[in-house]
């Protein structure tokens, strides 16, 4: 099953968020608290987007699994439908063989009766 491509982007964004948090703590002093609040807000927004994308990827994954299962069932049904005519053809051939046997037996009986031969069969 092919993974959700958005997951790679999510992982990269998560790594970038960690880098920004580390740099923020290193470069900004306590006097830059307003800027830190803005950065924290942006980071929280990114985290919400990441969570939303993760849920979307999970839904897509479930849909992919469902569709794969449906395709498998369709292939199995197709194979079943393909073998049914062959089974019927075999049954018909067997019936013809039985009919031919019965016809031959009837002919033998008729010949025996006409020629007055004792039972051979």
What are the extents of the domains in the chain? 5-115
Three-class SS state of 1: coil
**Cβ(1)–Cβ(68) under 8 Å?**
yes
Q: Which has the higher per-residue pLDDT, 19 or 71?
A: 71
**Cβ(7)–Cβ(57) under 8 Å?**
yes
pLDDT at 1: 40
Mean pLDDT: which of 22-26, 73-77, 86-90, 117-121 is highest?
A: 73-77
What share of the chain has pLDDT > 70, as a percent?
74
**Cβ(52)–Cβ(2) under 8 Å?**
no
Mean local confidence (pLDDT), 100-116 = 75
Other C-beta atoms closer than 10 Å to the C-beta of 53 total 16
What does pTM read for this prediction? 0.43
Other C-beta atoms closer than 10 Å to the C-beta of 54 total 15
Q: For residue 48, is pLDDT > 90? A: no
């Amino acid at each position: 099953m092919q993974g959700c491509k958005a997951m790679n982007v999510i992982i990269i964004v998560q790594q970038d968020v960690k880098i920004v948090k580390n740099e923020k703590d290193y470069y900004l002093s306590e006097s830059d608290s307003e800027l830190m609040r803005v950065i924290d807000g942006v980071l929280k927004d990114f985290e919400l987007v990441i969570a939303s994308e993760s849920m979307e990827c999970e839904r897509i994954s479930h849909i992919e699994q469902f569709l794969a299962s449906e395709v498998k069932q369709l292939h199995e049904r197709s194979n079943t439908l393909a073998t049914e005519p062959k089974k019927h053809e075999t049954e018909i051939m067997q019936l013809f063989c039985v009919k031919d046997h019965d016809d031959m037996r009837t002919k033998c009986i008729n010949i025996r009766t006409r020629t007055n031969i004792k039972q051979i069969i």
